[in-house]
Amino acid sequence: MVLPRCWGCGELSFRDCRDGAGALGAEVRKVESGNMSRRTLFATSICACFWLALPQVGMGQSVVAEAPERIYRSPYRVEFSVPLVELIGDLERTERGDHRVEAEVPFHQWYSPRTLERWRAWGPPARQYPGVAGLDHWSVERKRERVIAVAMRFHGYSYQHHHIPDWNPPSHWPWKSTCAGSNGKGVDCSNLTGFVYNLGFGLRLNTDVDRQAEERAAKGPGEERATRLRAVELPSSYEERIRTLRTGDLVFIRNRSGRISHVVIWVGPIGRSPDGVPLVLDSHGEDVRDSKGQLIPCGVHLRPFRENSWYNQSANHALRIFQD
């Protein structure tokens, strides 16, 4: 399955699709009644058919990581143990999944002079999402899979120094240069991890990577609650390290000076790679090659956690949000 862009009209998600499969039947009736041209119907049909051609993801099916706007096709995928609708169905059918409510300011103010003056290149901060009804009764494994399912909604987004993934400023807006080459929708590593737990669970993490690495409690779910975070020491052995980590763990990486500079989401046993290498999901530069030797594009992608990689050799510790 291609996430998260509609192949027909190019919108970032079916929720934004200009024509949409759900509207196709109504448009057919317009043609039959003489209120719509067949050319317009054809354009609508193309968009709807491209969307409907995507496989439905559920138990035993896979989310294949690929970005349709790039030639790159990833060899990696995620296979969930339960139907995807059971993991993130609420994001598709409720306002929670609407990108227009991602920020703490109303959508119509995202690109206002006040937003420009106050937050400059970073754009508006993320809102505090509420908790998710019924989530307390979920198993730990299901919660962890939800982390990855939520994160995969942003697969293919570019690497940007923004607070929220769907903020797409106009060309005149200030831009903090990144490997993306130009401004657009996207987030950096710690804003991705922070937003995933916020959107998915109503948990608010600090989005500065240094501070996120040091946190031992997250605000939420709800205004009056806090959730304990556990720091996980990583064994020196690569094999032991893999056995220690759990799906959804945040793994923090040091730079050459020893400072925490990056964070990734551990995919764990639901990740699928041709060579069996474990996978992480992060927003990163264009300097990691996949199992086919291809450079993985800059931005949010599944990437390999190899024994000789910077990820593994510079990993500092992990944060576990959902305890065993």
**Residue 151 lies inside a defined structural domain of this protein:** yes
**Residue 283 lies inside a defined structural domain of this protein:** yes
Q: pLDDT tens for the chain, 324 residues: list them.
A: 334 433 333 334 433 443 333 333 343 333 333 444 433 433 333 333 333 333 334 455 455 554 445 588 999 999 999 999 999 999 999 999 999 999 999 999 999 999 999 999 999 999 999 999 999 999 999 999 999 999 999 999 999 999 999 999 999 999 999 999 999 999 999 999 999 999 999 999 999 999 999 999 999 998 778 999 999 999 999 999 999 999 999 999 999 999 999 999 999 999 999 999 999 999 999 999 999 999 999 999 999 999 999 999 999 999 999 998
The reported pLDDT for the residue numbered 222 is: 80
30 burial class (0-12, 13-18, 19+ CB within 10 angstroms)?
middle
**Residue 131 lies inside a defined structural domain of this protein:** yes
41 burial class (0-12, 13-18, 19+ CB within 10 angstroms)?
middle
11 C-beta neighbours (distance < 10 Å), count: 18
**Residue 134 lies inside a defined structural domain of this protein:** yes
pLDDT digits (tens, 9 = 90+) for 82-113: 999 999 999 999 999 999 999 999 999 999 99
Distances (CA, A) of 198 to 58, 173, 303: 24, 26, 23
The reported pLDDT for the residue numbered 63 is: 56
**Residue 307 lies inside a defined structural domain of this protein:** yes
Residue 299: CATH number of its domain: 3.90.1720.10
The reported pLDDT for the residue numbered 69 is: 53
**Residue 105 lies inside a defined structural domain of this protein:** yes
**Residue 110 lies inside a defined structural domain of this protein:** yes
pLDDT digits (tens, 9 = 90+) for 136-174: 999 999 999 999 999 999 999 999 999 999 999 999 999
**Residue 12 lies inside a defined structural domain of this protein:** no
Helices 38-52 and 21-32, interaxial angle, to 10°?
Answer: 160
The reported pLDDT for the residue numbered 224 is: 78
Alpha helices in the chain (DSSP H): 21-32, 38-52, 84-93, 113-119, 140-152, 189-201, 209-214, 238-244, 310-313
The domain in which residue 217 lies consists of: 98-320
* List of residues 6+ apart from 4 with CB closer than 8 A: 12, 13, 152, 153, 154, 155, 156, 157
Q: Provide the number of structural domains found in the chain.
A: 1
The reported pLDDT for the residue numbered 65 is: 56
Q: Please state, in angstroms and rounded to a whole number, the distance separating the CA atoms of residues 265 and 152.
A: 11
* List of residues 6+ apart from 72 with CB closer than 8 A: 66, 294, 295, 296, 297
The reported pLDDT for the residue numbered 64 is: 53
